[in-house]
Chains A and B, each alone.
Chain A
């Protein structure tokens, strides 16, 4: 499984000499139709890889912004099956952009891991990030996913030391997601110096691209992180842009899609400046 949409995308980015801009939005937030419109508009706004959150009632690794986003999606009726339908709709019009589903294990366990892998592959999913499945639990979903042709992207964190890194990286594919802070999503800002050291440390153990996320909110931060990393993930800021665009009843407005894509475009410009700065 070496030639995948994700690997092809990173090869393209390498040729262009720039870091990947990885966007995270929640499936079904604020409602299924608006969510589809947002996701379909993200590549034109500069997204190189799209992460789509699978909403879960108890997101223990997420901060307030993504918690609220997931609850909005669940209230609007989103399910894991609905998330796969959303991917299928996006994939019908976009054959190239890698799509990674990110979430928690219980809805997948309920769906049935093998059935889920097959359904996700059929819908056009390229990779999975499942926060509460460490390498010790690889037999649950990681190995079936790899066998079924999906990348399984692992989180490495500041607490993952050199002794543990090989275990974390062993069955990781597609890319490595470095969590830049010890904390939940969207809270503290990452320290650029520490991130650079961490990316270098991970790269000593793997040839996979290393993308960095958790806490990146602005074009300026993205530009700095993108100098050292192969990609930058932005999630909480984008789902906050969804939230602030809603009306008093929590419904989408005419501004919702545009407010997400304009923020994405401005951060994408920051990511694109990152490697230019290094070259110059």
Chain B
């Protein structure tokens, strides 16, 4: 097949480093690329050029680092979860505490990078899509901080289940536009944001929140999130004197995960595990959002990647208890890392995530977001199988304040 033969050429030989992608056309092997309408293509090329210049500009990097330190609160702590470790009776568990960032999740890392880029490019109006609302809040926050109007597209279903974040966005001055097409979740919000961008190409900058979309977004979002893994390496070397045995993160589009994983990809002794949303279970048709475990490669939202889809190539909506993981695709670099075998991707169900959510709250006094609760659900399985001298770092990428209504409803608590 022509598409695959061309991809084989672009992937080339097995690389010495796993960290050099994507190629100049934006491909990680078969995955990635720039599958967008012609109206957007010149903008995407302009963005690529602007980002390449910014990335290599020490002044840009210095401003981003300054904001990271004084606005976000970086570096985020690496916390040894002593009671959870005792409870599980195996490997020592550390949390990378990105839920302590300003705005409550890792999303701010990317938004600060992209708003600085938008300003460099002279764009005035900011748009974003959001699922759980964390990226919407982070986009609204940086727009407020720099004085730009901001429109956030959010699926109507998600507007319902994440109402605290909707209010936060409004307080921050953003306009939240509920999207009713499809089932009204993250995929539909991204379609609508792309339509807005096509219609307002002159003045608008689209802050994509996850490591997906047309090139350069997957690489750019990864670069802005890699501060997570870079800090984790340094902190582990400082406290343990060696790298972790395993690192674990949840995967929706996969931005927090690629941020943690990327600096470790060439460390062959570090086991890397991504945890997808298993929803009601992988055997339930359209009942999960595990695009790699339960999907196949396809093209959506500007990139080729693993997608949940039917036999005709129509995209399925998927399901997860967590709005932030409820996306039928995944960032293309994850698809490549799955096929290469470097990263292991496993599912965790709604029920397992809910149990992990409660366990962490009671044992460590930390209410996690439902997204990293999926990662924790896997840590609960993994840690007991490992030695007490071994270590796991899990990215605690978001805090759970936004989820107390969802969880309260399931647990039968009137809020």
**Do A and B actually bind?**
yes
Q: Which residues of A contact B (CB under 8 A)?
A: 56-63, 67, 74, 79-81, 104-114, 131-134, 136-137, 139-141, 143-144, 154-161, 164, 168, 179, 182-184, 187-188
In the complex, 19 of the A-B residue pairs with CB atoms within 8 angstroms, ordered by the A residue number, are: A58-B191, A80-B312, A104-B299, A110-B298, A110-B309, A110-B311, A132-B299, A134-B34, A134-B35, A137-B33, A139-B2, A154-B38, A159-B41, A160-B41, A160-B42, A164-B41, A182-B39, A182-B201, A182-B202
* 10 A-B pairs with the lowest CB-CB distances in the bound complex, closest first: A110-B313, A107-B313, A183-B199, A139-B6, A57-B314, A157-B39, A79-B312, A61-B37, A106-B313, A132-B35
Q: Check if A184 sits within 8 Å of B315, measured CB to CB.
A: no
Q: Check if B39 sits within 8 Å of A61, measured CB to CB.
A: yes
Q: CA A74 – CA B302 in complex, angstroms?
A: 22
- Which among A107, A113, A161, A187 is the interface contact of B3 at CB below 8 angstroms? A113
B24 nearest CB across to chain A (Å): 11
List chain A residues, Cβ under 8 A from B202: 182
For chains A and B in complex, what number of residue pairs have CB atoms within 8 angstroms? 130
Q: CA A63 – CA B41 in complex, angstroms?
A: 19
In the complex, whether B108 has a CB less than 8 A from a CB of chain A is: no
Q: Check if A159 sits within 8 Å of B195, measured CB to CB.
A: no
List chain B residues, Cβ under 8 A from A113: 1-3
Within 8 A of A (CB), among B1-50: 1-3, 6, 25, 33-43
A112 nearest CB across to chain B (Å): 6
Given A105-B35, A161-B42, 16 additional A-B pairs, CB 8 A: A57-B182, A61-B39, A67-B181, A107-B312, A108-B313, A110-B298, A134-B41, A139-B6, A141-B3, A154-B38, A159-B43, A160-B41, A160-B42, A182-B39, A184-B195, A188-B199
B46 nearest CB across to chain A (Å): 10
List chain A residues, Cβ under 8 A from B25: 136
Q: CA A79 – CA B311 in complex, angstroms?
A: 9
Q: CA A122 – CA B11 in complex, angstroms?
A: 33
Q: Check if B298 sits within 8 Å of A58, measured CB to CB.
A: no
Q: CA A26 – CA B309 in complex, angstroms?
A: 21
Q: CA A104 – CA B307 in complex, angstroms?
A: 15
A53 nearest CB across to chain B (Å): 14
Q: Check if A140 sits within 8 Å of B42, measured CB to CB.
A: no
In the complex, whether B123 has a CB less than 8 A from a CB of chain A is: no
Contact bitstring B296-320, A, C-beta under 8 A = 1, else 0 = 0111111010010101111100000
Indicate the size class of the contact surface on chain B.
35 or more
Q: Check if B1 sits within 8 Å of A60, measured CB to CB.
A: no
In the complex, whether B78 has a CB less than 8 A from a CB of chain A is: no
Q: Which residues of B contact A (CB under 8 A)?
A: 1-3, 6, 25, 33-43, 181-182, 187, 191, 194-195, 198-202, 297-302, 304, 307, 309, 311-315
B407 nearest CB across to chain A (Å): 30
List chain B residues, Cβ under 8 A from A164: 41-42
The answer to whether A109 and B38 touch (CB under 8 A), given A57-B314, A58-B191, A60-B191, is no
Q: Check if B314 sits within 8 Å of A140, measured CB to CB.
A: no
Q: Check if A159 sits within 8 Å of B38, measured CB to CB.
A: yes
Q: Which of A56, A137, A139 counts the most chain B CB atoms within 10 A?
A: A137
List chain A residues, Cβ under 8 A from B307: 106
List chain B residues, Cβ under 8 A from A136: 25, 34, 41
B8 nearest CB across to chain A (Å): 11
In this complex, what residue of B is CB-closest to A115?
B1
Q: CA A60 – CA B187 in complex, angstroms?
A: 11
Q: CA A18 – CA B200 in complex, angstroms?
A: 34
Q: Check if B1 sits within 8 Å of A112, measured CB to CB.
A: yes
- Which among B3, B195, B201, B300 is the interface contact of A140 at CB below 8 angstroms? B3
In this complex, what residue of A is CB-closest to B33?
A137
In this complex, what residue of A is CB-closest to B3?
A140
A76 nearest CB across to chain B (Å): 13
Q: Check if B313 sits within 8 Å of A61, measured CB to CB.
A: no
A90 nearest CB across to chain B (Å): 20
Q: Check if B198 sits within 8 Å of A132, measured CB to CB.
A: no
In this complex, what residue of A is CB-closest to B304?
A109
Q: CA A79 – CA B6 in complex, angstroms?
A: 27
List chain B residues, Cβ under 8 A from A140: 2-3, 6
Q: Check if A106 sits within 8 Å of B1, measured CB to CB.
A: no
A134 nearest CB across to chain B (Å): 5
- Which among A109, A156, A161 is the interface contact of B313 at CB below 8 angstroms? A109
A135 nearest CB across to chain B (Å): 8
Q: Check if A179 sits within 8 Å of B33, measured CB to CB.
A: no
Q: Check if B34 sits within 8 Å of A137, measured CB to CB.
A: yes
Q: Check if A114 sits within 8 Å of B1, measured CB to CB.
A: yes
